[in-house]
Structure 1
Amino acid sequence: MSTPTKKRELLRDKKNGKIAGICAGIANYFGWEVWLVRIVVVTSFIFGQGFTLILYIAAWFILDEKPKSATNDSHEPVELKTKVWQAGAPPHGAFREISGDYNDLESRLQSMETYVTSNAYKLDRELNRL
């Protein structure tokens, strides 16, 4: 029997927010870090020609505020952060994990390039055309 999934709602989180709790609410909804959402929003404010400001103010009026009882003060399980960069580990550890992920992707890309440039790929493609 599977457990029912809790419906996520996009709500303003004024407790963890700086101005209106919009960034904190977006971060809670998508499971991202709040500081990352704030950096994206501030960058968008700078380069967005005012469009982001309009969206922010609209979200301030449209989104409901997160109720006080919806915090993790209850006995709900807390989601553990599994990635190094999520857990707030030192930058060296985060760099090592990201570098490992990048090296894995690089090796996969090299194997794909090797296959695409090989005679086996040309033969497979010709056989599929028949």
Structure 2
Amino acid sequence: MNSFNHALPPDPKRLYRNKRHGVIGGVCAGIADYLGWDRTLLRLAVIVTLFIAAPLAVLTYVILWIIMPEQPMGLFADEREKRFWQSVNLHPSRTVSDLARKFHEIDRRLAEMERKVSSPDYDLERKFRDLGA
């Protein structure tokens, strides 16, 4: 009997509760991490919202606490990877253009290396270098 219920790897683009940096349920820390905001400022905004519309703020927080999964351990390899996925979430078109620019630069460098290695001068220089050794 085959089982197709393999555990999927955690999705870095998904919104998670961050209980490790959370105060109550990790909702504010998770939202701040997802958006790349400061956790303290988001918590202050939630507190201000409590004074303005307490029932709605509390209800929203509880619903988010229930529906947001807890952030899995090892979701990001390092801080650089975390910042990359935050940029994907917030500015996907800018992230795509940055990646396209990086790949274009890699392609240019690869073409330059290929041009050098495939030139007749490269083979001649290699033969002279071998003679001198």
TM-score by length of 2: 0.49
Partner of residue 80, structure 2: 77
2:46 pairs, out of 41, 47, 64, with 41
Q: Structure 1 residue 67: deviation in Å?
A: 0.5
Q: Which residue of structure 2 lines up, in the alignment, with residue 25 of structure 1?
A: 30
Partner of 1:41, secondary structure, is helix
Deviations 1:30-79 (A, max 9, x none): 11000111001011111113100000001111100000122x5x356264
Q: Which residue number in structure 1 is paired with residue 124 of structure 2? A: none
> 1:44 is matched by which residue type in structure 2?
T
Aligned counterparts of 2:50 and 2:79: Cα–Cα separation in 1:
36
Runs of 4+ deviating beyond 2 Å: 74-79
What SS does structure 2 have at the residue aligned with 1:35? helix
Matching residue of 2:13? 8
Q: 2:67 aligns with which of 43, 62, 70?
A: 62
Give identity over the alignment, percent: 32
Q: Which has the larger radius of gyration?
A: 2
Q: Counterpart of 2:80 in structure 1: which amino acid?
A: P
Flag the 1:75–1:51 CA change in 2: closer, same or farther, 3 A: closer
RMSD (CA atoms):
2.2
Q: CA deviation at 1:8?
A: 1.6
Q: CA deviation at 1:9?
A: 1.2
**1:53 corresponds to:** 58
Change (3 A) 1:75 1:33: closer
> Structure 1: which 5+ runs fail to align?
1-5, 80-130
The higher relative CO (CA closer than 8 Å, separation ≥ 6) is in: 2
Separation in 2, partners of 1:33, 1:75: 18
Unaligned runs of 5+ in 2: 1-10, 84-133
- 1:85-125 Cα offsets, whole Å, 9 max, x none, are xxxxxxxxxxxxxxxxxxxxxxxxxxxxxxxxxxxxxxxxx
